[in-house]
Chains A and B, each alone.
Chain A
């Protein structure tokens, strides 16, 4: 167990160091995510209230689209020059490799979510009510956990395949649909988004069952990743 966590820490530190030094995440992925926010604003006229009503869903769509890029990068480094085989031959435990890549992905996603939250506050004029703050943070964290775990498993599944760019979205997006649904609903409750034309505002309490869904998803995928990574990395 201790060895597992040590491997995880090493791998996560390695991945994050690569990201910090290459600056691709900062300059390109964050830029892409903010660009998506702008595109949504063009598509849904901000002056007619459509954008405000759709903000939670659009926020998580932006996260999902960025997730594809982050996962692609996360595994591009491993498939180049057979780095993954090197990791395996170094005698590292596959579970530890999974945890490490998962943690690095989680950290990157959380940073992205913070930037995007700032983005919707600034550009979409979204107010975060104090009553919903706890729900907002909890659901965002659990959603990112689930997305990072699923992203790590599917990143490994499609790693080193020539058609990876098209295969990854096809495999990953249907599976993370529950996260999109749960996180959107939880955000609607936390932000008090009017849920329909009747201007009925979702209450904060309505958001918590969705948090449970996000939690179940995250636990299932973390467990699945720990169990399957050994088999996945065998080649």
Chain B
């Protein structure tokens, strides 16, 4: 319970700081909207009708992924740049609590952006995204993406080329999550049942479990000199 309280304290701290500055949220949201708008214009010039619906899942997850990268870049960079990471490392807690606190904060901020993006996407692409199953896919994909991204953010925050290095490392590693999320999203738009998409759902669940487990074993070595 003490462990969970400390994870919750880190999440609380990130939420309060973000509510005060809205720095991360505004950056992520504006960037996601820009991606949607650009994709909308780009595809609108060449394709229409059914083919728009075919590219919609990919466009959606590209927007989510790049917005997520912006959020992840700030997750540990802000702590490192202000020297605050040491304050967390000094606390009498297992350092994996920092990982889980940061991961949960990132998931929360990403989900807020994603939920606000769904109606924007619906308007621009003309596809109905208001489906509870889609929200579940968004949640699972976000958890997997944030799970991988948080540990890589912690690694790259200590390097000089971190803004470039994080996406270079993250996108290949998170590719299975993104592919599974895109396929599952496409399946929902195509009217498939959850049973017909079980392969992609299993991949999402596996990533949602594996990477936090890997982080649990390695995080202390990542953050300490």
Q: Indicate, yes or no, whether A interacts with B.
A: no
